[in-house]
A and B are shown apart, each in its own frame.
Chain A
Amino acid sequence: GNSVTQMEGPVTLSEEAFLTINCTYTATGYPSLFWYVQYPGEGLQLLLKATKADDKGSNKGFEATYRKETTSFHLEKGSVQVSDSAVYFCALIDDKIIFGKGTRLHILP
Chain B
Amino acid sequence: DTEVTQTPKHLVMGMTNKKSLKCEQHMGHRAMYWYKQKAKKPPELMFVYSYEKLSINESVPSRFSPECPNSSLLNLHLHALQPEDSALYLCASSPLSGGVETQYFGPGTRLLVL
Tell me the interface secondary structure of chain B in the complex. loop
Which residues of the other chain, B, contact A93 by a CB distance below 8 angstroms?
100-103
Count, A-B residue pairs, CB within 8 A: 47
Partner of B43, one of A44, A46, A51: A44
Which residues of the other chain, B, contact A104 by a CB distance below 8 angstroms?
40
Which residues of the other chain, A, contact B105 by a CB distance below 8 angstroms?
36, 43-46
Q: Which of A42, A49, A104 has the most CB of B within 10 A?
A: A42
Give complex CA distance A99, B41 in Å: 10
Which residues of the other chain, B, contact A45 by a CB distance below 8 angstroms?
105
What 1/0 flags go to A50-64 for Cβ under 8 Å of B? 010000000000000
In the complex, what residue of chain A is closest to B104 when comparing beta carbons? A46
Which residues of the other chain, A, contact B107 by a CB distance below 8 angstroms?
42-43
Which residues of the other chain, B, contact A34 by a CB distance below 8 angstroms?
102
- Chain B residues within CB distance 8 Å of chain A: 2, 6, 40-43, 45, 48, 56, 88, 90, 92, 100-108, 110
New A-B pairs, 5, CB < 8 Å, besides A97-B103, A99-B42: A41-B110, A49-B102, A99-B43, A100-B42, A102-B40
The 25 listed contacts between A and B (C-beta, < 8 Å) are A32-B101, A32-B102, A41-B110, A43-B6, A43-B88, A43-B90, A43-B106, A44-B90, A44-B92, A45-B105, A46-B2, A46-B103, A46-B104, A51-B100, A89-B42, A93-B100, A93-B102, A96-B45, A96-B48, A97-B103, A100-B42, A102-B40, A102-B41, A102-B42, A104-B40
